[in-house]
């Protein structure tokens, strides 16, 4: 990561700590091996907890460090250096903790936040359904009021890390009538993944091979009323509450992983010889790598500009959405180039590029597709 006008001396010191942590606990080899075996990164997750990272932005009175969002972006950029997924599992639990801090009851905070900070439980978010993707107002998984509990019936898809042991799913379910106001009848619930009646099946997705992405079947799943998060029918507010922080975190991770892809491609281009010279001396390769490196620097600046604004309470929805859009697409272009520069070897796991490329493709879809980001930015700049 380059020096940035958005960092203080303390941010730079934290960056050094993160660098050491990543090389020790989230190394290239660790990322590669877990991705190949499609295994959840339990050891790295435990190390993050040990280091106190789940509490980085949590206020001190709740057991955290009370740091600003720039620190978290620095951490997420680092965690994703060798695999986007290592940053993603971190980000999911942070989202869960922040949801409870802002919308949970005292009892929920007391029950879930200390073990989440300690890495004893993990958290995930499950919104997407077969018929509700970009348009989440179409959520149909039903939660029926049965007096002392809710009864859940329906199906979710693409729920990252949902079925991993000790995971608590933050679930979006329909409690109200879908029409006329489809956004207003959604409620959030805490559902431990081992709740009877819930079956989580791993999906054979292209990306996210460590965290795992699940389809989840809810058949007469009972959740006690105290597991409802926030107000009845007001889940939409929760889903929209952390969009800026989420997009900044996402963009930081895309930048972290794309930088490694570009660095790997530059190194390879310097070593690989064809026609009597390193391939990096061919102008076609050299200029393409320059363009990719330039885009990643630009994406980083956009990301930390949005983080800097957010840390000061300056509205940054447009900037965060632009950073998410540009960083994810720059990451896809960079890894696509990496796949070309490494030739046939790019397709072997031991060269890592195919992992970066798979995850980069996914990053233009998850957390709001590129088209949805463009729609949001269009509104922010006065287009309808």
Ligand X SMILES: Cc1cc2nc3c(=O)[nH]c(=O)nc-3n(C[C@H](O)[C@H](O)[C@H](O)COP(=O)(O)OP(=O)(O)OC[C@H]3O[C@@H](n4cnc5c(N)ncnc54)[C@H](O)[C@@H]3O)c2cc1C
25 binding ligand X? (CB under 6 A): no
Give the interface size with ligand X as a residue count (CB under 6 A).
Answer: 21
Tell me if 96 sits within 8 A of 229, measured CB to CB.
Answer: no
Please select the residue that binds ligand X; options are 263, 369, 377, 380, rule is CB under 6 A. 369
Residue 186 in contact with ligand X, rule: CB under 6 A: no
Using Cβ positions, the residue closest to ligand X within the complex turns out to be 133
- Is residue 216 within 8 Å of 156, Cβ to Cβ? yes
- With respect to ligand X, which residue has the nearer C-beta, 138 or 270? 138
| Strand pairing category for 122-126 and 186-192 | unpaired
Nearer to ligand X, 15 or 182 (CB): 182
Instruction: Please pick, from the candidates 301, 372, 377, 380, the single residue that binds ligand X as defined by CB under 6 A.
Output: 372
The pair of structure tokens assigned to 343 is 């030739």
Q: Which of 6, 103, 158, 254 touches ligand X by CB under 6 A?
A: 158
Q: Bin 268: left if φ > 0, else alpha if -120 < ψ < 50, else beta.
A: alpha
Among 31, 79, 125, 346, binds ligand X (CB under 6 A): 125
User: With b meaning 16 or more CB within 10 Å and e meaning fewer, what string describes 256-285?
Assistant: bbbbbbbebbbebbeebeeeeebbbeeeeb
The reply on whether position 363 binds ligand X by CB under 6 A is no
- Cβ partners under 8 Å of residue 38, min gap 6: 202, 209, 210, 212
Q: Assess 126 for contact with ligand X (CB under 6 A).
A: yes
Tell me the two tokens of residue 221.
Answer: 């799943």
Question: Taking the complex as a whole, how short is the minimal distance between the CB of residue 326 and ligand X, in angstroms?
Answer: 16
Q: Which of 17, 134, 277, 294 binds ligand X (CB under 6 A)?
A: 134
Residue 203 or 298: the one with the smaller Cβ distance to ligand X is 203
* 127 scored as a contact of ligand X (CB under 6 A): yes
- How far, rounded to the nearest angstrom, does the alpha carbon of residue 140 sit from its chain's CA centroid? 24
Q: With respect to ligand X, which residue has the nearer C-beta, 137 or 184?
A: 137
Is there binding between residue 378 and ligand X (CB under 6 A)?
no
Q: Which of 180, 181, 173 is nearest to 132 (CA)?
A: 173
Segment near ligand X (CB under 6 A), from 142-150, 185-193, 315-323, 362-370? 362-370
Cα 296 to Cα 313: distance, rounded to the nearest angstrom: 26
Closest CA to 243 of 318, 185, 187: 318
- As a whole number of angstroms, the longest Cα–Cα distance in the chain is 78
10 Å CB burial of residue 57 (0-12, 13-18, 19+) is buried
Residue (124 or 328) nearer to ligand X, CB = 124
- Measured from the CB of residue 369, what is the shortest distance to ligand X in angstroms? 3
Task: Pick the closest to residue 185 from 153, 238, 149, 232 (CA basis).
Answer: 232
Q: Which is nearer to ligand X, 304 or 326 (CB)?
A: 326
Selected from 298, 375, 377, 380, the binder of ligand X by CB under 6 A is: 375
Give which of 280, 122, 108, 126 is closest to 200, Cα–Cα.
Answer: 126
* Near ligand X by CB under 6 A: residue from 46, 47, 101, 205: 205
- What is the DSSP-derived secondary structure letter of residue 347? G
- Of the candidate residues 34, 167, 213, 305, the single one contacting ligand X (CB under 6 A): 213
Residue 37 Cβ, how far from ligand X at the closest point, in Å? 17
Q: Which of residues 267-306 bind ligand X (CB under 6 A)?
A: none
Residue 174 backbone dihedrals phi, psi, to 5 degrees = -95, 120
Does residue 364 bind ligand X (CB under 6 A)? Answer: no
Angle, vertex CA 376, rays to CA 302 and CA 262, nearest 5: 35
Residue placing its CB nearer to ligand X in the complex, 8 or 371: 371
Helices (H), the chain: 9-25, 28-37, 42-50, 69-79, 84-103, 106-117, 235-239, 243-271, 283-311, 317-341, 353-363, 370-380
User: Which one of the spans 8-16, 76-84, 275-283, 360-368 is the region binding ligand X (CB under 6 A)?
Assistant: 360-368
The residue range among 157-165, 215-223, 227-235, 259-267 that interacts with ligand X, by the rule CB under 6 A, is 157-165
**47 vs 372 by CB, closer to ligand X:** 372
For position 133 contacting ligand X by CB under 6 A, the verdict is yes
* Binding-site ranges for ligand X (CB under 6 A): 124-128, 133-134, 158-160, 205, 207-208, 213, 362, 365-366, 369, 371-372, 375
């Amino acid at each position: 990561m380059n020096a940035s006008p958005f960092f203080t001396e303390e941010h730079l010191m934290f960056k050094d700590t993160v660098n050491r942590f990543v090389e020790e606990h989230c190394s290239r080899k660790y990322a590669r091996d877990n991705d190949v075996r499609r295994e959840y990164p339990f050891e790295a997750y435990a190390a993050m907890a040990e280091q106190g990272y789940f509490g980085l932005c949590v206020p001190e009175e709740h057991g955290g460090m009370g740091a600003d969002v720039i620190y978290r972006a620095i951490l997420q950029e680092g965690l994703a250096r060798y695999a986007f997924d290592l940053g993603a599992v971190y980000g999911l639990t942070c989202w869960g903790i922040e949801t409870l801090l802002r919308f949970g009851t005292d009892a929920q905070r007391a029950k879930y936040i200390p073990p989440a900070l300690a890495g004893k439980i993990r958290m995930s978010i499950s919104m997407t359904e077969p018929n509700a993707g970009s348009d989440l107002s179409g959520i149909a998984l039903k939660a029926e009021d049965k007096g002392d509990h809710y009864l859940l019936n329906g199906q979710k898809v693409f729920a990252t890390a949902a079925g991993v042991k000790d995971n608590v799913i933050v679930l979006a379910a329909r409690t109200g009538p879908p029409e006329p106001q489809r956004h207003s009848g959604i409620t959030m619930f805490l559902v431990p993944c081992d709740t009877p009646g819930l079956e989580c099946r791993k999906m054979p997705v292209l990306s996210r091979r460590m965290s795992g992405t699940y389809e989840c079947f809810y058949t007469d799943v009972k959740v006690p009323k105290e597991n409802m998060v926030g107000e009845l029918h007001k889940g939409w507010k929760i889903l929209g509450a952390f969009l800026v922080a989420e997009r900044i975190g996402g963009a930081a991770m895309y930048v972290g992983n794309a930088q490694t892809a570009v660095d790997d491609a530059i190194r390879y281009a310097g070593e690989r010889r064809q026609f009597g010279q390193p391939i990096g001396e061919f102008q076609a390769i050299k200029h393409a790598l320059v363009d990719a490196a330039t885009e990643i620097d630009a994406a980083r600046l956009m990301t930390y500009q949005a983080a800097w604004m957010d840390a000061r309470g300056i509205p940054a929805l447009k900037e965060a959405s632009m950073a998410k859009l540009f960083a994810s697409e720059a990451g896809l272009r960079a890894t696509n180039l990496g796949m070309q520069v490494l030739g046939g070897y790019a397709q072997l796991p031991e060269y890592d590029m195919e992992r970066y490329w798979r995850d980069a493709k996914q990053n233009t879809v998850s957390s709001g597709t590129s088209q949805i980001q463009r729609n949001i930015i269009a509104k922010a700049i006065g287009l309808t």
